[in-house]
Structure 1
Amino acid sequence: MDILAVRGRQYAKEDEKTYQQWFDYADTDQDGRLTGPDAVKFFGLSQLQRAELKQVWAVADSRRQGFLGFKEFVTAMQVISLAQTGNPITADMLKETDTENISPPNMEGLDELIAAALKKSRSPTSGNVNVNGTTPSQTAQWFDKKTPRKTESDFDCKPMVMLLGQYSTGKTTFIKHLLRGEYPGAHIGPEPTTDRFVVVMGGDDERSVPGNTIAVQADMPFSGLTKFGTAFLSKFEVSLMPHTLLEHITFVDTPGVLSGEKQRTQRSYDFTGVTEWFASKCDLILLLFDPHKLDISDEFKRVIGSLRGHDDKIRVVLNKADQVDTQQLMRVYGALMWSLGKVLNTPEVMRVYIGSFNDKPINDNVVGPIGKELFEHEQNDLLADLKDIPRKACDRRINEFVKRARAAKIHAYIIGHLKKEMPAMMGKVKAQQRLVDNLEEEFAKVQKEYHLPLGDFPDVERFREILQGYSIDKFEKLKPKMVQAVDDMLGHEIPELLKRFRNPYD
């Protein structure tokens, strides 16, 4: 019997075709990686208990990558096979077993599922081509560069509030103030204390879960963070605790944005990219300043720039405002508005809340009776804004879905136009370079031809950067019927959906 080696272990060659077919079916993105959500669906066919499947994943993903390649997938299948015969699951169980004699596990109904998938893929009317004519995996790779894909957990999770600001502007203290106590892993001090992204959410007991672990849990909306690698996941954790407020809202505490000489020290992960990822998931984004840290550093500018498209979620908080007197506060407020105006590049005035969000009483000696009354009104307004989040969460999620659908439609028009401008035979390389160099003009042509709102178009420089990694000639032509299907969905199906379902938080 021919034997093949997998990560130092053995399996029969006649089983290779079976394992490969299973892996291709389970890998819905077709990128050679089996993510947590895909594994949950596929491993569930083994009929093992959820606790057992959790152990299977731990054994297979021994390097804590957050996904399984083909070799790790075979390891998982061998562990499942042994577990189905009554063997207890341990980290060393395959080392103690003659793996070449382990048969593939029994996956209930898998043959029928694979047969149905193959039949669907061969059908000329199957959904294997997206709106812009590309395959699903191509489109997924493109859009993942900008916005994370939505999963069921994104719609089921609690509304999220993210806090951004420089070190010691009171982000962690703000959360502590709302919770009336500390959450697991919270550190507060004048020096940089929060060095990681911490998601504070409700749980049955108080504990902290490392990022590598939480990113592979299918019931959590954080699987998309695996694309930032282990360097980031080691700086990410979820803090669970039982709390009435956390039954309705989840908070995202972030590391302090670097300023001054600290900016020269590069982070080991894409801080702006991670911030952008969370911004797309959050329902509210609080930018915290304090009266003595009004400067907006280069990193802070990049972070605020990454929030483009989420302007309706942003609120500004001038925290620790009782550290200056009334006259100074007027000047600080004016300086802050001037700085924000340059960075946000918008004529609208951003809403700025003034207060001192901690457990200490307001310093009457500094702010005076008028300032104290102002602080109380401002704090009440901000708290009312936070209380309103759960009620509006359902509408906001539908709003985000509509925004993504409109973005996908415009993306389809752009790709279809660029494809149409490519020559049929010679000079494809030069033609692509010309299109990329003159992308602004091509956007204008698309906007004029299809009468699209200019504000819905993506950032030209970002689009140009991503487009460099693709061959325009490989894209298929625009499918007008598919674009019409999106229009029908936006014009008829979404309004009907809103009539049928009420907000679960009402």
Structure 2
Amino acid sequence: PAPRDRSHVEDRLRLAAAAGPSAETSAAMKKLLNIYHTAIKPLEQAFKYNELRQHEVTGRLIVCLSVANCADGEITSKPMVLFLGPWSVGKSSMINYLLGLHGTSQELYTGAEPTTSEYTVIMHGERSRTVEGIVMAADSSRSFSPLEKFGQGFLERLVGIEMPHKLLERVTFVDTPGIIENRKQQERGYPYSEVCQWFIDRADLIFLVFDPTKLDVGGELEMLFRQMKGRESQIRLILNKADTVSNQDLMRVYGALFWSMAPLINVTEPPRVYVSSFWPQDYAADTSRELFLKEEISLTEDLNQVIENQIENKIAFIRQHGIRVRIHALLVDRYIQTYNDKLGWFSDPHEVFQDIVNDPDKYYIFKSILAKTNVSKFDLPDKESYQDFFGVNPVSSFKQLSDHCSWTGGCLLDKIERAISHELPALLSSAAPTPPLPGTCEGPGCEEKPKNRWRRQ
């Protein structure tokens, strides 16, 4: 059958316009890199923030700080859209539909059986080609170098696909193996949960795809939701293949989907659910064609908003990262100062410091930070994480913050505080797009643009 019209996808994703970052975005990205290298990275390295072992502070930069130029690659990388879900729910077909690959040589293979056994990264390139996972991990400019830690068994299941496409100039798609609930993770041959966590930490948008026949919840899906805790605002539930059931059954399936997901998503606002059939063939007869079309338009607008907010999201992330680095430096400085104050002539240095690390509340380590600095108690790391931190990093390897000052370069603490309080907020204000005047209309077909009540205006 002839494919249905997908001009609404082209319009909402603005594929007809010139793709690629604007001059303002490129200038803001250069300023962001300069702020990171001059104000945040020196303090980060001086106090070995990347070795603080706790999940809350492991993010896009933390995992790859040991790799040269990896932080630059993380900052300048395109937004990443991650596709998760059970097998054969239409993840690959949805990518083919958004990119318009059906019937072309670049089309991702799809089928009724579990067809995707690899992590497939679809990215922009000057020509169409396939890149092996070992090559991707060896190239630090691609920001996939940290994946080497998962072993050669995983790299054999990682593949990159490059192709010239205007949408891929602005975003990267990642197709994942389907969730299989009736097998153990060990049978995959690599640490599935840790690999998923790596991609979840870097994803700007997470599409969790289901179809009306695969709504069951098992161990792997529960584990994924635990790993996505704190990132609920980036999750979108996709009820795909919606035209394969009648309208009455679709209502029941929609309710069953929320009933299955409710115990896993403990947030006040439920995630956005998109209901449609994301493939090029026409909708089945006697189904809600108008509803499906509006849902597709809403989803593409949602995706386009994430792409357009790329620089704002990166600035906000770097500022959040800088706040955590500052708190870590203040805590290490307090540990050193307390150790120097309590160390006597005849005391055992190891015992003195071990007592401070094991019981920081007795020495008011964390309370003094809250009392003397502008730090929220909700941003403080776990006390136990510093037992592991100082277990591998002796206190003698650090200097106090006052020692990281010079007449010419100033103090590292002053630089990061200035970046957090002034430089990054000013950069965020300059990078934010100017809102259109009331009554004006911008963009193709904006008069007919449907309202999305799920988007904060």
Cα distance in 2, alignment partners of residues 301 and 360 from structure 1: 33
1:83 maps to: none
Cα distance in 2, alignment partners of residues 494 and 174 from structure 1: 37
- Select the residue among 132, 148, 171 that pairs with 1:210: 132
Q: 1:219 to 1:330 in 2, by over 3 A?
A: same
1:194 maps to: 116
Worse-superposed segment, 167-176 or 306-315: 306-315
> Which amino acid in the other structure matches residue 139 of structure 1?
Y
Deviation at 1:140, TM superposition (A): 3.3
Q: Does 2:188 correspond to 1:267?
A: yes
Cα distance in 2, alignment partners of residues 333 and 454 from structure 1: 40
- After superposition, residues 130-145 of structure 1 pair within 5 angstroms as 131=43, 135=46, 138-142=48-52
Cα distance in 2, alignment partners of residues 300 and 449 from structure 1: 44
SS of aligned partner of 2:238? strand
Deviation at 1:246, TM superposition (A): 1.8
Q: Does 2:221 correspond to 1:304?
A: no
Cα distance in 2, alignment partners of residues 386 and 127 from structure 1: 32
Deviation at 1:152, TM superposition (A): 2.6
- After superposition, residues 444-459 of structure 1 pair within 5 angstroms as 450=373, 452-457=375-380
Cα distance in 2, alignment partners of residues 243 and 401 from structure 1: 29
1:154 maps to: 74
TM-score, normalization: structure 1?
A: 0.63
Cα distance in 1, alignment partners of residues 381 and 239 from structure 2: 31
Q: Does 2:427 correspond to 1:497?
A: yes
Q: Does structure 2 conserve the Cα–Cα contact (< 8 Å) formed by 1:319 and 1:356?
A: yes
2:322 maps to: 405
Cα distance in 1, alignment partners of residues 93 and 135 from structure 2: 26
1:79 maps to: none
1:250 maps to: 172
Deviation at 1:297, TM superposition (A): 2.4
Cα distance in 1, alignment partners of residues 382 and 256 from structure 2: 29
- Select the residue among 313, 331, 334 that pairs with 1:396: 313
Deviation at 1:397, TM superposition (A): 1.4
- After superposition, residues 227-238 of structure 1 pair within 5 angstroms as 227-238=149-160
Q: Does 2:407 correspond to 1:486?
A: no
Q: Does 2:358 correspond to 1:434?
A: yes
- Select the residue among 131, 144, 158 that pairs with 1:222: 144
Q: 1:339 to 1:458 in 2, by over 3 A?
A: farther
- Select the residue among 202, 210, 214 that pairs with 1:293: 214
Q: Does structure 1 conserve the Cα–Cα contact (< 8 Å) formed by 2:52 and 2:386?
A: no
Q: Which runs of 5+ in 1 are unaligned?
A: 1-125
Deviations 1:400-422 (A, max 9, x none): 21121122223334444555666
Worse-superposed segment, 296-305 or 235-244: 296-305
TM-score, normalization: structure 2?
A: 0.69
Cα distance in 1, alignment partners of residues 71 and 256 from structure 2: 42
Cα distance in 1, alignment partners of residues 54 and 137 from structure 2: 16
Cα distance in 2, alignment partners of residues 228 and 300 from structure 1: 21
Q: 1:434 to 1:143 in 2, by over 3 A?
A: closer
1:378 maps to: 295
- After superposition, residues 1-400 of structure 1 pair within 5 angstroms as 131=43, 135=46, 138-142=48-52, 146-147=58-59, 148=63, 149=65, 150-181=70-101, 184=106, 186-259=108-181, 261-263=182-184, 265-365=186-286, 367=287, 371-400=288-317
Deviations 1:373-429 (A, max 9, x none): 222211110011122233211111112211211222233344445556666435358
Say which structure, 1 or 2, has more relative contact order (CA 8 Å, 6+ apart). 2
Cα distance in 1, alignment partners of residues 419 and 77 from structure 2: 24
Cα distance in 1, alignment partners of residues 40 and 263 from structure 2: 45
Deviation at 1:351, TM superposition (A): 1.2
Deviations 1:241-292 (A, max 9, x none): 1223222221111111231x21354433232332232233332111112222
SS of aligned partner of 2:188? coil
SS of aligned partner of 1:175? helix
Cα distance in 1, alignment partners of residues 326 and 304 from structure 2: 34
Deviations 1:42-91 (A, max 9, x none): xxxxxxxxxxxxxxxxxxxxxxxxxxxxxxxxxxxxxxxxxxxxxxxxxx
The sequence identity of aligned pairs, in percent, is 30
Cα distance in 2, alignment partners of residues 415 and 213 from structure 1: 39
Q: Does structure 1 conserve the Cα–Cα contact (< 8 Å) formed by 2:81 and 2:206?
A: yes
Cα distance in 2, alignment partners of residues 279 and 225 from structure 1: 13
Cα distance in 1, alignment partners of residues 367 and 250 from structure 2: 45
Cα distance in 1, alignment partners of residues 224 and 359 from structure 2: 29
Deviations 1:465-499 (A, max 9, x none): 96486356456366275444322101111133345
Deviation at 1:205, TM superposition (A): 2.1
> Which amino acid in the other structure matches residue 189 of structure 1?
G
Q: Does structure 2 conserve the Cα–Cα contact (< 8 Å) formed by 1:418 and 1:472?
A: no
Cα distance in 1, alignment partners of residues 306 and 324 from structure 2: 25
